[in-house]
Copies of this chain bind each other. A is one copy, B any other.
Amino acid sequence: MVIFASQGDPRRTMALLWRDTGSAAAPDRRPGPRPGLTLDAVVAAGIEVADVDGLAGLSMRAVGERLGRTAMALYTYVSDKAELLDLMYDQVHAELVADTADGADWRTALAAWAAESWDFHLRHPWVSQVSMTRPVLGPNENAAMERLLRILRPTGVSARRTRGIVGALTHLVRGAAAMAAESRQAARETGQSEADWWYARSPVLAAVAPDYETRFPLLTWLEAGRDAADDDAVGYMENEARQALAEGLKVIVAGIDVSRTPSDTI
């Protein structure tokens, strides 16, 4: 279920990631029929399939079909499904390397980063399902991280603490965006909107747990504080996720601000 990237030959995958076509460049004319596809085309097709049908829909057959080939044809360009996913992962991260709020206050720049990351994950919902424990180590993944560090640099927080904060920010954005993306995906795949889903379950819950309000008083209090108008536009869960990101970011920024000390500098 969780996809572990980078299992094949590291040398090969790394060369493809950094598009190191070999020290002697490409010999270019070799015997055999000319390739009808390119690696970039295969990766792009993979991204298109995953964007629409999720990681579950990313099959070699589906990618091949999009390119007018069979599944096995892809193995000419890519050694593995895992390698394809590595390349897809790094490719989409190119969308996150540009510093859009260059020179702005770090709080502003961080907010811009979070907003862009949110959009990014909604565009490519499968990204948040790829495990982070075996980083792909591609150029774009590195560049995207470098950008976040450039934003946090002016806070003067130490390297040690910065690593923790980067992790916390990443988990927050990933988690919130994943929830929103899955909410949309679930509605599409199951053909049941969130409202429908809730209307079907709410009375059943009430029937099966008639003492809900006394048993879970704080949950009841929490629900009572909702502004239903917000939900209609984007759906309950997506709204919750958006709020979690906004509130989490706010609280983290406040926490960084208050905990900055001279000893943290550099």
Residues of A within 8 A of B (CB): 1-4, 6-7, 10-11, 14-15, 17-18, 20, 54-56, 126, 129, 131-134, 137, 139, 142-143, 145-146, 149-150, 153, 158-168, 170-172, 174-176, 179, 182-183, 185-186, 189-190, 194, 197, 200-201, 204-205, 208-209, 212, 215-219, 221-222, 224-227, 237, 240-241, 243-248, 250-259
Measured CA separation A258–B257 after assembly (Å) = 10
Measured CA separation A101–B151 after assembly (Å) = 38
What are 21 A-B contacts with C-beta separation under 8 Å?
Answer: A2-B54, A2-B56, A6-B197, A10-B204, A14-B204, A18-B208, A18-B209, A131-B179, A133-B183, A139-B209, A143-B216, A146-B217, A159-B221, A167-B243, A168-B247, A171-B175, A171-B244, A248-B252, A250-B259, A251-B259, A253-B255
Evaluate contact between A150 and B2: CB separation under 8 angstroms: no
Q: Which residues of B contact A215 (CB under 8 A)?
A: 142, 146
Evaluate contact between B137 and A205: CB separation under 8 angstroms: yes
- Which of B4, B168, B217, B225 makes the CB contact (< 8 A) with A186? B4
Q: Which residues of B contact A248 (CB under 8 A)?
A: 164-165, 167-168, 171-172, 252
